Amino acid sequence: MDREQYRDIAPYSGQDVIDAVERLKSHPAFLSNLADVLYGGNFIKKRWKSHQIKDALPPLLDTVRNYDDFQRVITAGFFLPIIEKVSMTEFTHTGTEHLDADTPYLFISNHRDIVLDCALLDYALLQGDLPICEMAIGDNLLVNQFTEDLFKLNGGVTVKRNLPMREQYAESMRLSRYFVELVRDEKKSIWVAQKSGRAKDGIDTTNPAIIKMLHLSYKKSGVPFNELINSLNIVPVAISYQYDPNDINKGREQLSKKLHGTYQKKKYEDLVNMLRGLRRFKGHVHVNFGKPLKGDFRNADEVAREIDRQVHIGYHLMDTNYFAYDMIQGPTRFEDKYDSLDTKQFLKRYKGLSDEVRRSILRSYANPVVMQLEELGL
C-alpha cells in the first residue's frame, strides 16, 4: 500500500505524528479546554481537574510516536475512562468472541454520536484484547488545524464531502481503494458508519451506496462483488445509549424537516453537538459486535440488509427504549422492562417542549424496539 498517495486523507504517520503532537502541546487552550470538555459546568471540579490534566497529560503526549500510541495512551488510556466515569453509569460490550486478533475487519455500525461511536468501539476492542481501528470521518468536522490534528492522531480517515460531481466520483474511487487496501494488504481494521449522518429518528439502516463504494474501484478490474465483500471481513456493530445527550436537538431537527422539508445547520453546530455528546449524561452504553459477513451476496442491497439484521438484533434495548415504546404504541406491553426507571424524571427532560418535538424524541427511543421486534417476528 502506497500511503503517500493517501497522505491527505490517511491518519498521521511518521514525522506528521510528532509535528501534530507538538502543535497540541503548544496550543494555548488545549489542556484547559480538555477539562472544560470533560467536566462541563462543574466549576470547582473543572478548576481542580484542570491542574491535574496539565500535570498528567504532557508526559503522556511525549510517549506518542504513531496514531496507535495516541489512541491507546491518550484517547482510550486517559480520555475515555474519564468520560465513562463522569457521564455513564456503565459501559459494557458483547460479541468480541466472534473476532480474532490476527484478522483485520471492516466495522460498520449504527451512528448515534458524532465521535463517541467510533471511540467507544475502539475502547471495547481494547478491553477485549483486540487491535484498534482507523475510523472514517467527514471533513465537515475538520474546521481548523487543531481539530484536524485530534482526529488524524486518533486514526481518522478523511471523507471529503461537497465536492463537484466529477471530483466526488474520483475521490470515492480513491476512498474505495484505501478501505480495501487497508484491510486486505495492510491487515488493519477500519470503522465506518452505516450511513452519512447520525440516525436522528432511532431507525438504524445501512445505505447500500456505502457498500457499492467499496467495490467501485475494483469493478473494472474484474474482481467479483461477492469475492471482495467476503475478503473485507465486514462486522456489523450495534451501539446503544440509554440516554442520548443530543435527543432534544435531534427531535427539533426532525420536526423542522417534517414541517419545512429541510434543516439548516448553524455554524459550528456539529462541534457543539460533539461536545454535548462527550460531556452530558449517557447512562448505560453498550457495544455489540456481530458476526463477520460470509456468504453469497449478489449485490449491495443484500449486504446492507444483513448488516441491518445484525444491528437490529444486536441492539441492547434499555429501559428508556421500552418505556418510550409503551408511550407511543400502547400502555403496558413492556412495563416489567422499566420498573426501575423513574419515568416522571425521564419525561421531565422534555418539559417545555412542544408535543410534536416530545413525540419525535420518544419515537427515536422507541424505534430500536420496533426494529428488533420486526427482525424477531414478534
Report d(CA 215, CA 217) in Å as an integer.
Answer: 6
**Residue 125 and residue 111 share a domain:** yes
Please tell me the total count of domains within the chain: 2
Does 363 share its domain with 272? no
Closest among 223, 262, 201, 239 to 315, alpha carbons compared: 239
Question: Is the same domain home to 236 and 280?
Answer: yes
In a domain, residue 44? The reply is: no
Same domain for 261 and 371: no
Are 156 and 219 members of one domain?
A: yes
Domain co-membership, 328 together with 179: no
Give the CATH number of the domain where residue 100 resides. 3.40.1130
DSSP string computed for 116-154: HHHHHHHHHHHHTT---EEEEEEGGG--SHHHHHHHHHT
- Contact status, residue 152 vs residue 67, Cβ threshold 8 Å: yes
159 in a domain, yes or no? yes
290 within 8 A of 345, measured Cβ to Cβ: no
Strands across the sheet containing 133-138: 88-94, 283-289, 234-241, 106-109, 189-193, 133-138, 156-159
Classify residue 59: in a domain, yes or no. no
Contact (CB, 8 A) for 354 and 277: no
pLDDT computed for residue 28 by the predictor? 67
What gap in Å lies between CA 333 and CA 326, rounded to an integer? 6
Residue 290 belongs to a domain: yes
Q: How far apart are CA 254 and CA 251, in angstroms?
A: 5
Residue 52 falls within a domain, yes or no? no
Q: Are residues 278 and 337 in the same domain?
A: no
222 and 350 within one domain: no
226 lies in the same domain as 287: yes
Q: Provide the pLDDT for residue 48.
A: 58
Q: Which residues contact 8 (CB under 8 A, 6 or more apart)?
A: 158
Domain end point (choices 282, 297, 315): 315
- Does residue 174 share a domain with residue 303? yes
Instruction: Give me the amino acid identity at 19.
Output: D
Domain residues for 207?
A: 3-13+65-315
For residues 332 and 371, is the Cβ–Cβ distance under 8 A? no
pLDDT at residue 263, rounded to an integer: 82
Amino acid present at 161: R
Residue 201 is assigned to a structural domain of this protein = yes
Domain boundary among 266, 300, 315: 315
Per-residue pLDDT of the chain (378 residues; tens, 9 = 90+): 888 899 999 999 999 999 999 999 888 677 777 777 777 655 555 565 666 777 888 899 999 999 999 999 999 999 999 899 989 999 999 999 999 999 999 999 999 998 999 999 999 999 999 999 999 999 988 888 988 999 999 999 999 988 999 899 999 999 999 999 999 999 999 999 999 888 999 999 999 999 999 999 888 788 999 999 999 999 999 999 999 999 999 999 988 888 888 888 887 788 889 888 998 999 999 999 999 999 999 999 999 999 999 999 999 999 999 999 999 998 889 999 999 999 999 999 999 999 999 999 999 999 999 999 999 999
Choosing from 299, 315, 331, the residue where a domain stops is 315
Has residue 18 been placed in a domain?
no
Q: How far apart are the C-alpha atoms of 76 and 65, rounded to whole Å?
A: 16
Same domain, 209 and 246: yes
User: Do the domain assignments include residue 55?
Assistant: no
Same-domain status, 224 and 337? no
pLDDT (0 to 100) of residue 42? 59
